Structure 1
Amino acid sequence: MSKNERLQSTIAIFIATIALMISVWQGCEQRRHNRLSVRPLLGFETISHNDTRSIKLMNSGLGPAVIESFQIGLDGKQLDAESGNPWRPVIDARNLRGKYSAMYYFAEASIIKPEETYSLLTWTPGDTLALGITISIRYQSLYEEDYTITESF
């Protein structure tokens, strides 16, 4: 093999190696983009309107959120949606019987589509605006990436 042929072979191997590295990098970037393009992004919103107050949950992301768990913390105790309606103890403890107009919770494997909004609780607060509760939701993306959102109200 001549010196010129060896040089050409070395350059070809170098170019092939660079092309392979670029291809791997591009594949990683494409994978990252695909995950971000279907990532759910849950958020809470508290709305006061006239004499009512609402806690709303919305999915502002581009992908669906698959609910793993929905829990409400009340006076240091976790109320789980799997053991029944977790809002009932809140209604009783905060004296909201007859003062609420909507309550919603999510069971395991519930799906929140992109741009969906749910009114979790709507009530007439009377003297107290704060309920003294914590809502915690664990959810996954389509790629089974885990996320958690927790907020106190």
Structure 2
Amino acid sequence: MGPDTVIAGAATVIALGSLWVSYTQTRDSRRHSRQSVRPALQMRRVKHYKGTEAGLSIVNAGLGPAVVTRSVVRLDGEVLGEWNYHTQQLLLSSLPARPKAHSMRSGSFMLPGRSTWLLSLDEYSEDEHDWFWDLITRRLVIEIFYESLYGGENFSVTPPEF
């Protein structure tokens, strides 16, 4: 084996090593880019926050916008449909008072750092509105499925268990 063969073999090994390093850096860079715009939706039940309001809120605590892909609403274990205007009307028509509602339809966006009430009462009173707290803590489950701008992750969020 001559010096030319050794040099050619070494050059091939170096080239393959460089190709592998380049590939892994590109893969890691793409993974980092995806993580840097990952949304992180959180739901929480709130009572008497900054005054007298109460309700079910959602916040995007992540770094990127959340794209809602679908939602499922369950009342007492029975599926009512997606969290949209029609399902809200069906739910709200049976309640003793009318809370405010904000829909999360498929295709809607939630920007980073933003929060909104999905269902809320501005003037919540323990004595008068105990039915509302029971509704959002035990009877009603809203599950929202979402993804980042890259798509395909199929994240979901539901209210925390009590």
TM-score (norm 1): 0.85
Count matched residues.
149
Cα pair 1:64 1:111 within 8 Å, conserved:
yes
Q: Does 2:130 match 1:127?
A: yes
- Residue 77 of structure 1 and its aligned partner are, at CA, apart by 2.4
Cα pair 1:103 1:119 within 8 Å, conserved:
yes
Quote the residue 1:59 is aligned against.
60
Quote the residue 1:141 is aligned against.
148
- CA distance in 1: counterparts of 2:83 and 2:55, whole angstroms: 23
- CA distance in 2: counterparts of 1:137 and 1:37, whole angstroms: 21
Cα pair 2:45 2:159 within 8 Å, conserved:
no
- CA distance in 2: counterparts of 1:40 and 1:83, whole angstroms: 21
SS in 1 for 2:47: strand
Cα pair 2:70 2:145 within 8 Å, conserved:
yes
- CA distance in 2: counterparts of 1:106 and 1:12, whole angstroms: 57
Cα pair 1:41 1:60 within 8 Å, conserved:
yes
1:35–1:83: structure 2 CA closer, same or farther, 3 Å change rule? Answer: closer
- Residue 140 of structure 1 and its aligned partner are, at CA, apart by 1.8
TM-score (norm 2): 0.81
- Residue 83 of structure 1 and its aligned partner are, at CA, apart by 6.4
- CA distance in 1: counterparts of 2:103 and 2:92, whole angstroms: 14
- CA distance in 1: counterparts of 2:119 and 2:72, whole angstroms: 14
> Alpha-carbon deviations, 1:99-139, whole Å to 9, x = none?
x2x21111221111111101111123623422111111111
- CA distance in 2: counterparts of 1:14 and 1:26, whole angstroms: 18
5+ residue gaps, structure 1, are none
Superposed, which structure 2 residues align to 1:19-30 within 5 Å?
19-30=18-29
Q: Alignment identity in percent?
A: 27
SS in 2 for 1:119: strand
CA RMSD of the aligned region, Å?
Answer: 2.1
Quote the residue 2:15 is aligned against.
16
Cα pair 2:46 2:56 within 8 Å, conserved:
yes
5+ residue gaps, structure 2, are none
Structure with greater strand share of residues: 1
